């Protein structure tokens, strides 16, 4: 959960601090094709790494206990998540993702649309990790949860991180639509982006914990011996 907060913040910084111009590829279809090829290769690599881990637990290291399997799984998920950030950065700076998104009507006026599309691209890479990681996850948890339910639960787990960003971005869009041009230029500058990021982090720190408690339906543990031992 906390790793994903860092990942999404990094992704938003990469996307928001990119000032798109004419890129290497003059056609959006070329960019889309290359994006698909990047995802396809990433998907193949994820499948290979998780299959190798699952085979190792059943063959080379059949004595791995639940704790060791969980640690190996989390280690691999972390490495692949970092790789997905690198690929996302390639999409932004090499494939000019932001430039092509801003060509879609309405995306220039409402920055939340382009931001949401960019986050959707990143979540697609994370969903690929969860999809191929499910057999390993099942091997040490034996959870009755099906694969698509597992992916859906992971997405829902990360949604609270995005709500402060969405609220702040909508406010930003309204300010830039209704304010003087000079104020809009300030918000679109590098300093304005720093201010936006600082406000986002502040909202995250203040409102995320109680919102997560409400979103997940968390409640206090009953007064038992187990609670005392914790």
Q: What is the gyration radius of the CA atoms in the chain, in angstroms?
A: 21
The pLDDT, as a whole number, for residue 227 is 55
Cα separation, 39 vs 121, in Å, equals: 10
Q: H-helix or E-strand containing 224?
A: none
- pLDDT given for residue 74 in this prediction: 92
Buried b (16+ CB within 10 A) or exposed e, 54-84: beebeeeeeebeeeebeebbeebbeebbebb
> What are the CA-CA distances from residue 154 to residues 1, 109, 174 (Å)?
9, 31, 31
Beta carbons of 128 and 46 less than 8 angstroms apart: yes
The whole-number pLDDT of residue 205 equals 75
Tokens describing residue 17: 């601090």
Q: Evaluate whether 169 touches 16 at the Cβ level (below 8 Å).
A: no
Q: Which residues of the chain have pLDDT under 70?
A: 1, 22-23, 59-66, 179-188, 215-218, 220-221, 224-230
Q: Tell me: the pLDDT tens digits for 76-129?
A: 999 999 999 999 999 999 999 999 999 999 898 888 999 999 999 999 999 999
């Amino acid at each position: 959960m906390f790793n994903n907060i860092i990942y999404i913040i990094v992704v938003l910084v990469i996307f928001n601090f990119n000032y798109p111009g004419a890129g290497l590829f003059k056609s959006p279809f070329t960019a889309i094709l290359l994006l698909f090829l990047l995802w396809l290769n990433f998907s193949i690599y994820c499948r290979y790494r998780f299959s190798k881990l699952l085979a190792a637990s059943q063959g080379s290291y059949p004595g791995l206990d639940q704790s060791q399997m969980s640690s190996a799984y989390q280690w691999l998920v972390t490495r692949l998540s970092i790789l997905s950030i690198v690929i996302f950065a390639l999409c932004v700076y090499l494939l000019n993702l932001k430039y092509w998104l801003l060509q879609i009507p309405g995306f220039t006026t409402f920055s939340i649309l382009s931001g949401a599309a960019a986050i959707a691209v990143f979540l697609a890479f994370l969903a690929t990790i969860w999809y191929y990681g499910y057999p390993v996850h099942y091997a040490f948890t034996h959870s009755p949860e099906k694969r698509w339910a597992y992916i859906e639960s992971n997405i829902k787990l990360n949604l609270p991180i995005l709500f402060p960003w969405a609220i702040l971005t909508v406010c930003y869009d309204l300010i830039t639509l209704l304010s003087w041009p000079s104020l809009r230029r300030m918000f679109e500058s590098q300093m304005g982006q720093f201010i936006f990021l600082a406000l986002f982090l502040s909202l995250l720190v203040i409102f995320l914990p109680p919102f997560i408690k409400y979103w997940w339906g968390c409640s206090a543990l009953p007064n038992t011996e187990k609670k005392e031992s914790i």
